[in-house]
Chains A and B, each alone.
Chain A
Amino acid sequence: MKKIISFAAAATLAGGMLAAGSASAATTLESVKERGNLKCGVTSGLPGFSQPDDKGNWTGIDVDTCRAIAAAIFGDGSKVEFTPLTAKERLTALQSGEIDVLSRNTTWTLTRDVSLGLNFTGTNYYDGQGFLVRKDIGVDDAKQLDGATVCIQAGTTTELNLADYFRSNDMSFKPIVFDTSEQTVQGFSSDRCDVLTSDRSQLAALRSKLDDPDSAVILPNIISKEPLGPVVRQGDDQWFNIVKWSLFTQINAEELGITQDNVDEMKKSENPEIQRLLGTSGDMGEKLGLSADYGYRIVEQVGNYGEMYDRNVGPDTPLGLERGLNALWTDGGIMYAPPVR
């Protein structure tokens, strides 16, 4: 029996290596160009990040991140084929070459970056775990939550973070575990628990599902770091650079004040930084293996980072998330991209 198991393990390992190793036969850029579209892995439905709308079109910040990459390569942000993936299969799908880029609300951690043959290309959303509490228990800081009953969704890292946080602060809690986020909200609104914990980007959406949203508040505490961003396979540096710089281009565009509306006027700008970003001077696109106007295409089709944020998760959307950490470094946030030079 042991022999069989070790043989199976070896076979799995060899299979995995074979798949990962042979992926570099043709470069990812070549195969994407030949296929004529970008294959992008997204969540199967997470408000603000990737969700089908009324017409069945994918919308969300993760979706737009992929559209920006397609715009950079093809000059057409619609040439993306979205593959909805569950949390469990997302990394395998990328490793096996089923998708070209994974933009699926995936937290950048050491283990994932180092030991799985993957590379994180940057952060398109800085998230963190937070708490939603009922107003009537009179708590305004997570440190006062000793002995609370907490509603959590099973099988997520939030469960682990929660236990870590309470242990390190020497507090006790009673977990009530649910399967889906709807059930978690139901549990919270039917008074099964005092506190609901989840990523802060989702708390606002969950709160809006309550019968009386004003009866609950989101605490200011953030108990974990969750930098979310696109992921690619290791071993194709050109592709890694393209994905990385398509996001950087969006962030730089916001910093330089280039928007979807003014991008055509900006092309006439005298500012050398803007000229380089939009491709009116310099050979930045060529260095990446793309056309010279790749930056112009990204902003024209998808917009700069701020526009992408406001459209999908910003204060005017049902999610209503303030920029916070995701504001530009010049506005008190930590969104910072290296210069285009």
Chain B
Amino acid sequence: MTHPTELPPKSELGVVGWARKNLFSTWYNALLTLVVSYLVISSAIPLFKWLFLEATFTGETASDCSGEGACWLFISQRLNFFIYGFYPDTLQWRIDIMFGLLALAFVPQFIERFPGRKWFGLFGVTGLPIIGYILIPGGWFGLEEVPSNKWGGLMLTLILAYVGILAALPIGTVLALGRRSEMPIIRGICVVFIEVWRAVPLITVLFMASVMLPLFLPEGVSFEKLMRALIGITLWQSAYMAEVVRGGLQAIPRGQYEAASALGLGYWRKMGLIVLPQALTLVIPGIVNTFISLFKDTTLVLIIGLFDILGAVQSTVTDPAWQNVAIEGYVFVAFCFWIFCFGMSRYSQNLERKLDTGHRT
């Protein structure tokens, strides 16, 4: 006896088989498939035409844009402004270095087998901010000083998000621990801090920082507007972060705390070695979610006159020399945000897989 070696009928195999099974299994499924594919195709074709086929990519001035498709010329002509803001042309290499280092620190994190990628990541959260602090504003080691009102565009968006994210995680963790502390004063302070900052919208915080704060400060003591915004964003973000981390802390079974105590560990070692590593791993999706929403919330600095990438685009789309370039501008901004947010999301999934301890089902 031999087993039959014939393949299943052709109609059950490959694309045809898959389509038969999934798209055309019954008459109403078939109808639905046809209607939906008509809708998708009929809207995708004009979109594709507008984005690529009829769009203008090359040229010099506004008059080179055909008017039919998108005018990407507007973006490429102003790309420098959208990325660096008012940062002086001759000093933009400093920002380029920072972009390079940022990529160097975080791109390896996506490559599973990259040698020593942990160290690159560590550099990203320690060395990178220090280099940035020296290189971007200048004024040290003979570097020409560039005041913060010259910063703008994508670079400013990244600075705001990076500082907010980097500072909020440790502050938020401390706040979360404080809120679960058994010492009433510390607990009280943390609860009040979290509830106050979490209860106000970010836009209010920024407004207070930019409009009210200067009035209260004595003459001569004045922070730069960017610094005030950064402090506001960080405090606001750390309140959110605290609640996310607290969620993780609460998910750790009581036995873990007791076991750590039974081993004779003190408070800090118990938290640092046993509880927090587990708690933070559990809430990675929550943490990254907060990061992504912060990244997008940075666009709110627009209302205090800082030129993040959205502000830079918005201030130039009204240029009467160009016809109706608002859509192109906003599509470009959306694309930039998508790249970074999608990157963060992929990274968090990566991390979850790596740190998976079997809690996930």
Interface centre among B84, B85, B312, B316 (most CB of A within 10 A): B316
Please report which residues of chain B, range 296-347, place their CB below 8 angstroms from some CB of chain A when the two chains form the complex.
Answer: 303-307, 311-312, 314-321, 323-324, 326
In the bound complex, residues from chain A placing their C-beta under 8 Å from that of B216 are 11, 15
Taking the closest CB of chain A, its distance from the CB of B94, in whole angstroms, is 16
**Is A182 touching B320 in the complex (CB atoms < 8 A)?**
no
Which of B50-58, B218-226, B251-259 lies at the interface with chain A? B218-226
How far is A330 from B319 in the complex, measured between Cα atoms in Å?
32
Quick one: which of A1-57 are within 8 Å of B by CB? 11-12, 15-16, 18-19, 22-23, 25, 44-48, 51-52, 54-56
B320 to chain A, nearest CB (A): 4
Q: Which of B23-31, B75-83, B157-165, B186-194 forms part of the interface with chain A? A: B75-83
Binds B, one of A86-94, A165-173, A287-295: A86-94
Asked whether A143 is an interface residue with its Cβ less than 8 Å from the other chain, the reply is no
Determine whether A161 belongs to the interface, using a CB cutoff of 8 Å to chain B: no
Q: Mark A92-115, 1 if CB is under 8 A from B, else 0.
A: 110111100000000000000000
Query: Which residues of chain B come closer than 8 Å to A92, judged between CB atoms?
Result: 211-212, 214-215
Rounded to whole angstroms, the CA-CA distance of A81 and B225 in the bound complex is: 14
Chain A interface, DSSP helix/strand/loop, else mixed: mixed
A89:B305 contact, CB within 8 angstroms: yes
For A81, what are the chain B residues with a Cβ–Cβ distance below 8 Å? 147, 149
| Across-interface contacts of A44 in B (CB, < 8 A) | 305, 307, 311, 315
B215 touches A96 (CB 8 A): yes
Number of B residues with CB within 8 Å of any CB on chain A: 43
Query: Once the chains bind, are A47 and B210 in contact (CB under 8 Å)?
Result: no
CB atoms of A45 and B81 under 8 A apart: no
CA of A180 to CA of B149 in the docked complex: distance in angstroms?
24
Total residue contacts A-B, CB cutoff 8 A:
110
Given A56-B84, A86-B304, is A96 in contact with B317 using a C-beta cutoff of 8 Å? no
Contacts of B78 in A (CB 8 A): 54
Report whether B211 and A89 are in contact in the complex, using a CB–CB cutoff of 8 Å: yes
Determine if A192 is an interface residue (Cβ-Cβ < 8 Å): no
**A314 interface residue (CB < 8 Å to B):** no
Q: Please report the C-alpha to C-alpha distance between residue A5 and residue B314 in the assembled complex, in whole angstroms.
A: 37
With A and B bound together, what is the CA distance between A47 and B318 in angstroms? 7
Chain B, Cβ-Cβ closest to A208: B320
For A84, A98, A208, the residue with the greatest tally of chain B CB atoms inside 10 Å of its CB is A84
Q: In the complex, which of the residues A25, A47, A54 has the most CB atoms of chain B within 10 Å of its own CB atom? A: A54
Within the complex, the shortest CB–CB distance from A8 to chain B, in Å, comes to: 11
Report A-chain residues with C-beta under 8 Å of the C-beta of B321. 318
B residues bordering A, Cβ < 8 Å?
77-78, 80-81, 84-87, 89, 147, 149, 152, 207, 210-212, 214-220, 222, 225, 303-307, 311-312, 314-321, 323-324, 326
List A residues at the B interface (Cβ < 8 Å). Answer: 11-12, 15-16, 18-19, 22-23, 25, 44-48, 51-52, 54-56, 81-86, 88-89, 92-93, 95-98, 180-182, 204-205, 208-209, 211, 317-319
